[in-house]
Structure 1
Amino acid sequence: MNKKYLLSYFKASAKDWRDWHWQIKNRVTKIETLENLLGKTEFNEVKSKTVTSVYPMAITPYYLSLIQSNDTNDPVRAQCFPDPREMYHSGKVLEDPLEEDSHMPVSKLVHRYTDRCLAMVTETCATYCRHCNRKRFWSQPNNIRLKIRLQEMIRYLTRSPQIREVIVSGGDPLTFDDKTLEEILGSLKAIPHIEILRIGSRIPVVMPMRITKELCRIFKRYRPLWFNTQFNHPNEITPEAELACNLLQEVGIPVSNQSVLLKGINDSPDVMKNLLYGLQKISVRPYYLFHCDPAKGCSHFRTDPQAGVIMMEKIWKQSSGLCLPQYVLDVPGSAGKIPLQVLSKSIKNDLKKNKHFFDKFK
């Protein structure tokens, strides 16, 4: 589904395409639109509408353009098209797998760790990822206006001097306009003990034209500011995505990547290696590879942790440390991210083989 075809369908110009406001306005949110774009034979309309009645759909035209229409197993398509399997729930899945709701001292401010917290400033995303561990919020948006929500957060943060870092997330905070984003960042940075701001956003992946020079100038004013994004497949590393990351880097904003291990999308050594190498080439640090959370509606994306370890073992042995993320399992509460390398039989064997070397340090 290439850009030229989509421009024709939307009766849009190349200038429109480069405008992030146009991308947001023309997100695909209805099954009928997908049917018109791909043909009705591609979908079970009834089942797809059942899914979107619970877990809404939104896909930017840009992200749609990365999909190969003739491939139902396309890795981009699998991340954004509704799937009937989202409605099949086992007893092992949870609405809130990280128990974030029980760590909210005020609405949408998650305080799981002593020195940092996460501010969900919106429930809106440019594209809704079907593997999202917060998809419980999609159909139940918080009706509290941002101004009131932010005031409550600021009050709590001001009374909590142990907090030195705030992750601005959502939803996706970059769906706000520049003025609103600056108000959020300015309010947080005005608190004396807040030293570090982080932004969690998939915008470089799903709508890279949102990263403008003006937005980067705003970010520069609030350094130290770190930017975490989520590339999950090599097909997402496009010239547009590279430009977005470069614009951030040019104003001193480090960009790190937090992939999710997704069954059928990036759970093979070759695909994962190409993703990590591709990120390294655009100076994006592979930070974490998350094992997919047991979130309701995401079971079909989950792999066995041991399979993930075996995959990463193959990559560890042939890749530079600069392109190796930590493969982790995020667990509820303050325990946080547990490295799954501890399950590696290969690492254990290497330690045994080299026991004589470690004995020298006793």
Structure 2
Amino acid sequence: MTDAAKTVPFPARRTLRSLADLTEAGLTTAEKAQQLQSVADRYAIAITPEMADLINPADPHDPIARQFVPDSAELTVSHTESADPIGDDVHEVVPGLIHRYPDRVLLKFVNVCAVYCRFCFRREMVGPQAGTKVIPDLDAALAYIRNRPEVWEVVVSGGDPLVAAPRRIAELIQALAAVPHVRIVRFHTRVPVVAPGRVTAELVASLEHPDIATWVAVHANHPAEFTGESRAAIARLAEAGIPLVSQTVLLASVNDDAETLAMLMRTFVENRIKPYYLHHGDLAPGTSHFRTTIAHGRSLMKALRGHVSGLCQPTYVLDIPGGHGKAPIGPSAVDDIREPRTVEDFRGQRHCYPPE
């Protein structure tokens, strides 16, 4: 944290949830707050004290502020953007349960988050306006899972499922563990990074069950998000034997340069988190200022290959609009067009490969 950030009179350790809060914290001005009212009326605001502490208000390009502080650009909606950019609605089998892939389902366990990212692909569906903290028909979701023997894994999302009380999480784990064909439950969360104090011994214990394997996918987009508190929270999960993987969204002016991306992936690995997905920005309303081109994303993946450890290589994926699922879109080192076939090394030199 910079000296400039240290001098900001943040309200005492509470989540900032309004433009008035942001103004009081020095993260915007009264004049800008008036201009942002239309954004706040449409999309929820929440910045935890841990994230607010990282923001340098004097830096107009601060990567943490860009992720969480509202921007008037969010009111610019292109014709390609959609309130349901990855097609959740197409595959919703009961309220809050998405069955898109044959062997797994996604359960929207809660409709709220600890923080609200300005680029969220479910930004029209999460937040206080969603009306309920837990999905309305969990019993129906569990009944569907029990009746589908092909379902091997349940991905628990939302919202952010780790904002739920440990008791509710434990009840969910117990219910899923009782289904013989469900062997994996995977939680997707920002909590260990943005609200590490929630990762208590009670929460960690709620994730564990002898009859089912729990995995946690930790979402972070910039190495600055890894504070001492967040590293300790992640360690509590890792030391409990819970496997950890990462999620990152490729974001313009946040992490869309090779140096930042390499540092982020190394930070994941140093904290016992295996890089898993680098998401191309979804076509959510008002998020075009965050999206890079696919060509730029591929160039970044190419820059990572060979220059950082193989442990640090995520899969670059695009969620195909309309509900068609994720597709890997990273660069290929193989030239299949010309003969003899060549393979490019990490230095950019090509080498012949014999005919198969």
Asked if TM exceeds 0.5, the reply is: yes
Give the share of equivalent positions with the same residue, in percent. 34
Contact 1:131 1:301 in 2 (8 A): yes
Q: Which residue of 2 aligns with 1:244?
A: 233
- Structure 2 Cα separation of the partners of residues 43 and 347 of structure 1: 54
Offset of residue 332 of structure 1: 4.2
Query: 2:269 maps to what in 1?
Result: 280
Quote the Cα distance in structure 2 between the aligned partners of 1:34 and 1:41: 8
Partner of 2:338: none
For 2:134 and 2:99, the matched residues in 1 are separated by 19
Please state if 1:170 is matched with 2:158.
Answer: yes
Of 341, 351, 358, which aligns to 2:343?
351
Aligned to 2:208, the other structure's residue is in SS state: helix
- Superposition TM-score, scaled by structure 1 size: 0.88
Where 1:198 maps in the other structure, the secondary structure is strand
CA distance in structure 2 between the aligned counterparts of 1:326 and 1:39, rounded to whole angstroms: 34
Shift of 1:250: 0.8
Distance 2:89 2:128 in 1: 14
- 315, 327, 333: which one aligns with 1:338: 327
One-letter amino acid of the counterpart of residue 343, structure 2: L
Classify the secondary structure of the residue corresponding to 1:105: strand
Aligned to 1:191, which of 172, 179, 203?
179
* Residue equivalent to 1:318: 307
What is the 5 A alignment of 1:169-248? 169-221=157-209, 223-248=212-237
**Alignment partner of 1:10 is 2:1:** no
The 2-side partners of 1:123 and 1:145 are apart by: 5
- Could you tell me which amino acid in structure 2 is paired with residue 10 of structure 1? P
Instruction: Give the secondary structure class of the aligned counterpart of 1:138.
Output: coil
Q: CA deviation at 1:185?
A: 1.7
Tell me if structure 2 keeps the 8 A contact 1:150–1:184.
Answer: no
1:276–1:286 contact (8 Å) kept in structure 2: yes
Structure 2 residue 86 is matched with structure 1 residue 89: no
Distance 1:110 1:240 in 2: 33
The answer to whether residue 44 in structure 2 is matched with residue 49 in structure 1 is no
> Take 1:294 and 1:302, find their aligned partners in 2: how far apart are those partners?
9
The residue matched to 2:20 in structure 1 has which SS? helix
The aligned length equals 343
Shift in alpha-carbon separation, 1:327–1:31, aligned structure 2, 3 A: same
Q: Which protein has the bigger helix share? A: 1
Match of 2:122 in 1: 134
Give, as a single letter, the amino acid of the residue that structure 2 aligns with 1:318: H
Deviations 1:227-254 (A, max 9, x none): 0011100101121111111111111101
Question: In the TM superposition, what is the alpha-carbon distance from 1:285 to its structure 2 partner?
Answer: 0.8
Q: In the alignment, does 2:29 pair up with 1:28? A: no
Cα 1:136–1:358 shift into 2, 3 Å? farther
CA, structure 1 residues 216+109, in 2 after alignment: closer, same or farther (shift >3 Å)?
same
Cα displacement (A) at 1:317: 3.0
Q: 1:192 to 1:73 in 2, by over 3 A?
A: same
How large is the RMSD of aligned CA atoms in angstroms? 2.3
CA distance in structure 1 between the aligned counterparts of 2:276 and 2:117, rounded to whole angstroms = 20
**How far apart, CA to CA, are the structure 2 residues paired with 1:39 and 1:210?**
24
Contact 2:50 2:195 in 1 (8 A): yes
1-structure distance, mates of 2:136, 2:42:
27
Aligned partner letter, 1:70: A
Q: Return the offset for 1:337.
A: 2.1
1:177-196 Cα distance to aligned partner (Å, 9 max, x none): 11111112212222221111
Alignment CA distance shift 1:269-1:57 (3 Å): same
Q: Give the Cα separation in 1 of the matches to 2:183 and 2:301.
A: 34
Match of 1:174, SS? Answer: helix
Is the 2:192–2:234 Cα contact (8 Å) retained in structure 1? yes
Cα drift, residue 46 of structure 1:
2.3
Q: Post-superposition shift, 1:145? A: 7.4
Give 5+ residue unaligned stretches, structure 2: 336-340, 345-349
Secondary structure of residue in 2 paired with 1:354: strand
Matches within 5 A, 1:112-127: 112-127=100-115
Q: Secondary structure at 2:55's aligned position in 1?
A: coil
SS, match of residue 258 in structure 1: strand
State whether residues 111 and 127 of structure 2, in contact with CA within 8 Å, keep that contact through their aligned partners in structure 1: no
Normalization by structure 2: what TM-score? 0.90
Residue by residue over 1:100-132, the C-alpha shift from the partner in whole angstroms, topping out at 9 and shown as x without a partner, is 011111001011011101000111101001111
- How far apart are 1:282 and its partner, in Å? 1.2
Residue 98 (str. 1) matches residue 53 (str. 2): no
Pairing 1:270-309 to 2, within 5 Å after superposition: 270-309=259-298
The Cα of 1:144 is off from its aligned counterpart by: 6.2
Q: Distance in 2 between matches of 1:60 and 1:140?
A: 16
Partner of residue 268, structure 1: 257
